Structure 1
Amino acid sequence: MRISSCLSFSYFKSLFSTLSSPSRSSRFYSSSSRNQSTKTHSVRPSPRPALGPKSPASYYASLLQSCGVQKAIEPGKQLHARIWQMGLGFNPLLATKLINLYCVCNSLINAHLLFDRISKRSLFLWNVMIRGYAWNGPYEVAISLYYQMQDYGFVPDKFTFPFVLKACSALSAMEEGKKIHEHVIGAGLETDVFVGAALIDMYAKCGCVVSAQQVFDKMVERDVVCWNSMLAAYSQNGQPDDCLSLCREMAYAGVNPTEGTLVISISASADSVLLPQGKELHGYSWRHGFGLNDRVKTALVDMYAKCGSVHVARSLFELLKEKRVVSWNAMISGYAMHGHANQALDLFKEMKEIALLDHITFVGVLAACSQVGCLIKGKMYFRSMLSDYIIRPTVQHYTCMIDLLGHCGHLEEAYNLIMEMRVEPDAGVWGALLHSCKIHGNVELGELALRKLVELEPDNGGNYVILSNMYAQAGKWEGVARLRDVMMDRGLKKSIACSWIEVRNKVHAFSSEDTSHPESEAIYAELKRIGKLMKEAGYAPQIGSVFHDVEDDEKADMVCGHSERLAIAYGLISTALGSRLLIIKNLRVCEDCHVAIKFISKITKREISIRDVNRYHHFKDGLCSCGDFW
């Protein structure tokens, strides 16, 4: 058997010449053939001993090591054939190198076939196989090999545990991960930095942040990987404030950040909509030499867009050396969130010419169409996903289309699209239909959507509230009472509306008709003052947004005490004249507050930005960026 000449002869020639050269490259050495340092004599150096000929196994081991580093699978396969021809197919050193090569090249079938034929397996070899499956899957095989290894009498070491825990992370296999954690404790390796980081990551992927924190707290020595794992645990599980707090603790501990540290922390600022903290991290990244790092800058693009500074996001986007797909997607989604559909679609056209598109790209494009009611364009882009780009619609794409069709009043078409979906509709899809039914007062279809939502998320009281409000709009108070009784019987509660404003690096939270703030009297006095000016300017309360069977005067008082208005009033009395206000709300802005804030922006000559659960509203000079379509 000969090595095929069609595969680069020069490749092998260069490797062999390197091995036989007096100045051998250190990266081709095996661990058993490193040069030993020469001893010196007091008078003159002793002569260097002559090097004997290197064994064939050592030469091939070096070649396989090189193939593994370069992930050169085809030359590696030919070397395997040559080794087999020479009768060295089961040489322990060469077999280990071959299995490692196949694993790093994701050729696990070949790796496993060879592994199964080796009678004397080392712990290192077991670890190589477990690592291969932990990286590439099937992840269940990595866990199975872990237990098989112990059945063969091997004891897992500090390299085994990170690999098998990675497999548990990929499967979100909490119970299996807990068992392995017990083995880690038995081996006395819980405080090892690599094992600890793997445990933190496993618990984070399984949504158990408390357990991840306990592992982190027990670690005596923490390297930057451990810190990053804990930061990610908070960020990935909806605790961005804890992530930012830990980032500050990490800085105080004198641990130098990595690219991952900054990307995770900046993303946490974006999720919390905390622009000052995001700006602080922006400066921190520059001071630590990451000013030209495109991954960090892409995270900043996303952060500035989500925190209301879409123009700053675009400026950073233009400064990127290499615009990757994730960078384009962040900018398109940022424009969509702010209702800037034209800018989003123009950027999409530009992206098509120079970058690959993925399913996230189309989520941003369809969301942009949905925010402003571009029905024709939305339908066109939805069709082109599969026909032009071979991207099958996911639940996210369908949700955007249901929202677009429903907002435009095409409720039956939206329902028919749900019936035609090639994936199972989730709560987001039915929730989009329910919201659209509320906008257009379609009680019958709204009841159907609610029944589906109750099946999918029976403990979400917000869905009942939406239908209850629809009944109230239609004057069906018996329906309101019936749903209220159902919620009481099931122990469900309405989500409390809250709004936040950050003033002088301190976040102030308000709920509806809240009087707990230390400056509550001044806040309500400002609301009264502004209310009088609004009335003189022609404002009349939109009491249809209050779904209670009470008198109109009482309804008017209720809408004036909504949480976003309290936050705005506090901002007006606490910030400089003419400065912009940014308010975050956990629910959708109601119709009356939307009208009222337009009046407030004109009277006070302020730009007021509200980020609700769906999007941004930018109010200026009596107008809103959404064009009253939301």
Structure 2
Amino acid sequence: MSFLFIQKTQQTSRTLSTLSFLSNPFPLPPPSVFQQPQLSYHLFPTQQTPRHEVDPFPASTPSSPNYASLLQSCVAAKALRPGKQIHAQLCHLGIAQNENLATKLVHVYSVCNSLRDAHHLFDKISKRNLFLWNVLIRGYAWNGPHEAAISLYHQMFDYGLKPDNFTLPFVLKACSALSAIGEGRGIHEYVRRSGWESDVFVGAALVDMYAKCGCVVDARHVFNKIAERDAVLWNSMLAAYAQNGHPDEALSLGREMAATGVRPTEATLVTVVSSSADIACLPHGKEIHGVGWRHGFESNDKVRTALLDMYAKCGHVRVARILFERLREKRVVSWNAIITGYAMHGLAAEALDLFEKMRKEAQPDHVTFVGVLAACSRGRLLEEGRAFYNMMVRDYCINPTAQHYTCMVDLLGHCCQLDEAYDLIRNMGVKPDSGVWGALLNSCKTHGNLELAELALEKLSELEPDNSGNYVILANMYAQSGKWEGVARLRQLMNDKGIKKNIACSWIEVKNKVHAFLTGDVSHPNSNSIYAELKRLEGLMHEAGYTPDTGSVFHDVEEDEKTDMVCSHSERLAIAYGLINTLPGTQLLITKNLRICEDCHVAIKFISKITEREITVRDVNRYHHFKHGTCSCGDCW
């Protein structure tokens, strides 16, 4: 019987093919087969971690000389079917309740995500040690339901056991997955009392838990208390900043990490490169690019994908494409990054051409179609956008998300199909979010539809009541229509709600230093030179036919005062600084925290033609590439 069972095991699992049992049902296998695996107890950045908890049951015991080792091999290979076959054989022999073997079986089922079987066996074991509890909690923490991991954690205390520094990262991971900040804080309190707060693995889990719950300050407090920090802990704190909208802090922490001499990992580089991309900080991105190459990551596809995304977001799509073509394996995330990069720069033809190539090599996902539909919107390709939307649903069985609807509303709005856009919103399969209504509001501004804009603002005031930008868009529309009573009403509404208008800010990086400007700013050391350059440009622009458009000024003041206001907008100050501090022909990249106004958009087209410069402005909505007096957005944004 034993011989037949072992022979079947060999046929069904290549992972155990080195165990040659055909001549002897219980031979002595090679030592490498049964050596204890390194259990992946640590949570970051992958499931493989150089951390090893001592197994209380050795691979060989007098009562069961080989079955424990066989089960351990199943654990290492995550081989469920051979594990079940061994379980059946143990039941036949009447030794399945052996404490040693039962623990091994629970471990097999747990790592193979067969948690119902694992828990069933767990309940039958009368003497459960800490290792056994950790194995099952780990399984639930990784695979869910995560509530079960937290429940087992509390049951441990009732059983008379105390969690250790292996238990705690698992249960904290479950809290992270559920964003269960209350449970997480309770576990943190136990960590303090039990003295595990300085443990680097527990600390990393706490940082991750607080980060997933949006509590970045708490995460940093934990991080600061750990004296000896490994790369995993640094990565956890970097991710905490990056995932919660603090890219500047992530970059600063990355520099601090480099100063300590800790070698960066793949996760380190991906996080800091992505943070550079979020703020379009090309010099920092280039610097990290060099650091990665010096540390041997030049052929790492994940780092390359992060870099191509960064270069695309910083306006260097050609460099992004070169990196994309050099990838050894083009994964879906890589295709998505380059397609989205082309789309955000208004290069619709290039994005759609890549999409057709992708369909032959990889399976598009929902992110792919966000990029494709965005490209159609940027290129005003209405029929193509409709066709791709139908393809997504019909051929790839992808249910539209709010992002897809936002792209379609934006596309319809750009093509002056406002009624169809509104009908689409009313018949959405998901609840419209602020992105959807914001796309409609922007389209209404482009085409001057006040009635629909008022409806969009009503919805937006419920979804994001503190976003002043929505009120400003409608106020500008009232001002352009000469409806000053509407402007006054909105201003009063903002005052009543305590909503303050966001201060426009633009910045440019010159010689590795960032220079930021506010509207009408005179605080810069080179202010005199900047305004002199603006005055010079203004004269040349008037000669070329430029006339200021003061419709975006929603103050009922004299026309010359309005002209002064628009002519000193922050993006113009940044451009003037770039012109007088860079060589002729140098491309300028300006980043603005708000939407670029209509007059500045026209003015920058004139400036690009007069100075023979390529000027890229990244505003809150999109990238604008100004060259030879035209903009890549086609004057619709």
Contact 1:19 1:59 in 2 (8 A): no
CA contact (8 A) 1:586 1:613 kept: yes
Deviations along 1:311-330, one digit per CA (max 9) or x if unpaired, are 00000100000000000000
**Cross-structure match for 1:25:** 31
Q: Which residue of 2 aligns with 1:178?
A: 185
Say whether the 8 Å CA contact 1:426–1:456 is kept in structure 2. yes
Secondary structure of the structure 1 residue equivalent to 2:516: strand
Q: Within 5 Å, give how 1:102-501 maps onto structure 2.
A: 102-501=109-508
Contact 1:399–1:429, Cα closer than 8 Å, also in 2: yes
1:37 alignment counterpart: none
Aligned to 1:512: 519
Q: How far apart, in 1, do the equivalents of 2:348 and 2:600 lie? A: 24
Is the contact between residue 372 and residue 629 of structure 1 (CA under 8 Å) also seen in structure 2? no
| Post-superposition offset of 1:59 | 1.1
Q: Secondary structure at the residue paired with 2:66?
A: helix
Paired letter, 2:558: E
In 1: Cα distance, 2:141 partner to 2:540 partner: 65
Q: CA deviation at 1:220?
A: 1.3
The 2-side partners of 1:234 and 1:575 are apart by 33
Unaligned ranges ≥5, structure 1: 32-52
Identity of aligned residues (%): 67
Work out whether residues 6 and 25 of structure 2, in 8 Å CA contact, stay in contact via their aligned partners in 1.
Answer: no
- What amino acid sits opposite 1:464 in the alignment? Y
Q: How many residues align?
A: 609
Contact 1:19 1:28 in 2 (8 A): no
- SS, match of residue 506 in structure 2: strand
Aligned: 1:100 with 2:107: yes
Pairwise CA distance, 1:288: 0.4
| TM-score, length basis structure 1 | 0.94
Contact 1:30 1:58 in 2 (8 A): no
Equivalent in the alignment of 2:55: none
* Residue identity opposite 1:563 in structure 2: S
Give the aligned residue type for 2:575.
I
Residue 557 in structure 1 maps to residue 561 in structure 2: no
Deviation at 1:172? 1.2
Deviation at 1:217, TM superposition (A): 0.8
Asked if the contact 1:583–1:609 (Cα under 8 Å) also holds between the matched residues in 2, the reply is yes
Supply the distance in 2 between the matched residues of 1:84 and 1:70 (Cα, whole angstroms). 22
Measure the CA separation in 1 of the matches of 2:605 and 2:267.
41
Q: Which runs of 4+ in 1 moved over 6 A?
A: none
Whole-angstrom distance in 1 between the partners of 2:62 and 2:422: 73
**Aligned residue number for residue 582 of structure 2:** 575
Find the counterpart in structure 1 of residue 54 from structure 2.
none
Superposition RMSD in Å:
1.8
* Distance in 1 of aligned mates of 2:113 and 2:184: 24
Query: Residues 84 and 21 (structure 1 numbering): CA distance in 2 closer, same or farther, change over 3 Å?
Result: closer
Query: Are 1:586 and 2:593 counterparts?
Result: yes
Give the direction of change, closer, same or farther, for the CA distance of 1:305–1:19 in structure 2 (3 Å limit): farther
The 2-side partners of 1:430 and 1:218 are apart by 44
Report the TM-score, using the length of structure 2 for normalisation.
Answer: 0.93
- Find the aligned partners of 1:19 and 1:593 in 2 and give their Cα distance: 83
Would you say 1:15 and 2:19 are equivalent positions? yes
C-alpha spacing 1:81/1:564, structure 2 compared with 1 (3 Å): same
Q: Aligned residue for 1:596?
A: 603
CA distance in 2, matches of 1:511, 1:92: 71
- What is the deviation of 1:247? 1.1
Q: Which runs of 5+ in 2 are unaligned?
A: 38-59
3-state secondary structure, aligned to 1:510: strand
User: Structure 2 vs 1, CA of residues 19 and 194 (structure 1 numbering), >3 Å: closer, same or farther?
Assistant: farther
The reply to whether residue 609 of structure 1 matches residue 616 of structure 2 is yes
**Take 1:596 and 1:167, find their aligned partners in 2: how far apart are those partners?**
54
1:364 maps to a residue whose letter is G
3-state SS, counterpart of residue 458 of structure 1:
coil
- For 2:61 and 2:481, the matched residues in 1 are separated by 90
CA distance in 2, matches of 1:14, 1:436: 66
Q: Distance between the aligned counterparts of 1:413 and 1:469, measured in 2?
A: 24
C-alpha distance in 2 between matches for 1:19 and 1:290:
47
Q: CA deviation at 1:547?
A: 2.5
One-letter code aligned to 1:268:
S
Distance of 1:202 and 1:92 partners within structure 2 = 34
Tell me, yes or no, if structure 1 residue 61 matches structure 2 residue 68: yes
Change (3 A) 1:397 1:13: closer
How far apart, in 1, do the equivalents of 2:29 and 2:602 lie?
A: 79
Structure-1 separation of matches of 2:614 and 2:624: 10
